[in-house]
Amino acid sequence: MTKSNADDNNNPASAEDTGALLRGRFSEATDAFVEAFTASVNFDKRLYAQDIQGSLAHAHMLNKLGILNDHELKQISGGLQQIRQEIETGKFSWQVPLEDVHMNIESRLIALIGDTGKKLHTGRSRNDQVATDIRLYLRDAIDRLLQAETELLHAIIDLAEQHTQTIMPGFTHLQAAQPITFGHHLMAWYEMLLRDRERLSDCRKRVNKLPLGAAALAGTPYKPDRASVAAALGFDGICNNSLDAVSDRDFAIEFCAVAALTMTHMSRWCEELVLWSSQQFNFVELPDRFCTGSSIMPQKKNPDVPELIRGKTGRVNGHLMSLLTLMKSQPLAYNKDNQEDKEPLFDAVDTLQDCLTALCGLVPNIQANEDAMYQATLQGFTTATDLADYLVGKNVPFRDAHEMVGQAVQRAVEQGKPLEALSLQELNGPGNNIISEDVYQVLSLSGSVAARDHAGGTAPAQVRAAIEQARLNL
Ligand code: ARG
């Protein structure tokens, strides 16, 4: 909890005030433990700006309905703006006995402007208030995340563009499989993260709907103009059903699902960066400023940043599971369970944002060790499929070609040579002469990648086209 500088006169909110605002029907004060147990202000105070924004829009609506006169609207607006300032300058005294961000702000408003402050909550409940606040918060968070994702996509394209001809082994089962280009490999990550960005902006549509007006659960008798409140707050529309508006948190669950998937993609990529920056692969060099040393081993340069992104994926996946479980047994409409939605959601947002920031800094500074990539591609008989395809071109059925090449690979293994170092006779095997001199072009690494010259293939021309298209799309 933030320690406030404000003296008590400045903010007279106290447990007594909570009693005054909420406990009219009770005959005893809240148990001290229960008070702390049910409070959320320590984490939901993060929603103060959205809470004030929502209250201002609500007050304007009450003014249009004639519930607040112009003077009262001015008093409330002024009071809320002062509260925002107090919070932002650290002068606001947050009170746990006031339970949550909403009651803290409301009781401060009453303390500042008197009875007019008591009118603000007309036609509103904390149920539609908190749902509005979270949606406003998440929408703005999504906009920042979309920006970071776009930056990362640009960084990937920029790096891929430098490596449309850089040959490396493509892997299956982490075994060298076929030659590819590093640019092509990077563009695979581009595609995954592009889909993540699409999912995020699609999720935004369902986040950006207004709950206010639903009040506690059934609506209010004041006939609020919900559409104009929605427009004032930048929502694309209203939540159509008041019960649904206050109770469901599917938009937060959906966000966490999108975040978890994005983290999962980034984690896979980071796993590669960890492997590739090891001495065993030596495919890439990560910038020193993104690595850390060991407290005991002076030679170490550890890829902590990609390791942490990989590790933080676990907590975001966990938040998705928390929110699903939070929701699964709730009868309509609002239940206090929903107060537990905030910490997982906030942490999912923060974690995703931090990991995107880290990758945006890291990716442009990845140095490819082109020679090591090339040598590794030479090692693994990665053009064996090209040899089989060559035989198919000479009318050998693919299964027979597969068998012939398998035997050639065996001879190469025995002699400790790459395929292209075998003589024509060794490549053909006893009694065969189908393979002729033109095979050596086919067995070359650059010939192999250039041959995969179709949409989605690894040929440099195709990778360049994919990059060009990506630039247009972004
Ligand atoms: N702090 C609560 C939450 O986060 C606000 C809504 C409380 N509503 C209520 N009826 N207790 O969900």
128 CA to middle of ligand 1, Å?
A: 9
Q: Closest ligand 1 atom to the C-alpha of 40?
A: 1
CA distance 164 to 462: 9
Co-location of 157 and 211 in the same domain? yes
At residue 218, what are phi and psi to the nearest 5 degrees?
-115, -5
Q: pLDDT by residue (tens digit) across 75-104?
A: 999 999 999 999 999 999 999 999 999 999
Other CB atoms closer than 10 Å to residue 34's CB: what's the count? 9
Domain that holds residue 171: 127-223+236-370
Per-residue pLDDT at 12 exceeds 80: no
Strands (E) across 202-334 are located at: 209-210, 237-238, 284-285
- Contact status, residue 15 vs residue 35, Cβ threshold 8 Å: yes
- Band of residue 17 on the pLDDT scale cut at 50, 70, 90: low
- Contact status, residue 134 vs residue 53, Cβ threshold 8 Å: no
**Residue 19 placed within a domain:** no
- Band of residue 19 on the pLDDT scale cut at 50, 70, 90: low
- Band of residue 300 on the pLDDT scale cut at 50, 70, 90: confident
Share of the chain above pLDDT 70, in %: 96
Per-residue pLDDT at 193 exceeds 90: yes
Other CB atoms closer than 10 Å to residue 415's CB: what's the count? 11
- Residues touching ligand 1 (Cβ under 6 Å) are 40, 44, 100, 126-127, 130, 334, 336, 338-339
User: Could you give the number of structural domains in the chain?
Assistant: 3
Mean local confidence (pLDDT), 457-470: 98
Q: pLDDT by residue (tens digit) across 325-374?
A: 999 999 999 999 999 999 999 999 999 999 999 999 999 999 999 999 99
Mean local confidence (pLDDT), 297-317: 94
pLDDT of 194: 98
Last residue in a domain, options 340, 370, 400: 370
Mean local confidence (pLDDT), 200-209: 98
CA distance 78 to 11: 16
Burial status of residue 207 (CB atoms within 10 A of its CB: 0-12, 13-18, 19 or more): buried
Active site residue 173: yes
Q: Closest ligand 1 atom to the C-alpha of 341?
A: 4
pTM of the model: 0.93
pLDDT of 18: 63
Catalytic residue among 27, 71, 173, 295: 173
**Residue 37 placed within a domain:** yes
What residue has token string 């060790």? 369
**Residue 10 placed within a domain:** no
Co-location of 215 and 312 in the same domain? yes
Co-location of 118 and 131 in the same domain? no
Last residue in a domain, options 84, 104, 122: 122
Active site residue 40: no
Mutation pick for ligand 1 pocket among 30, 339, 341, 342 (CB with most ligand atoms within 8 Å) = 339
CATH of the domain at 101: 1.10.275.10
Per-residue pLDDT at 5 exceeds 60: no
Co-location of 434 and 306 in the same domain? no
Co-location of 75 and 146 in the same domain? no
Q: pLDDT by residue (tens digit) across 110-138?
A: 999 999 999 999 999 999 999 999 999 99
pLDDT of 21: 78
Q: What is the mean pLDDT of the chain?
A: 94
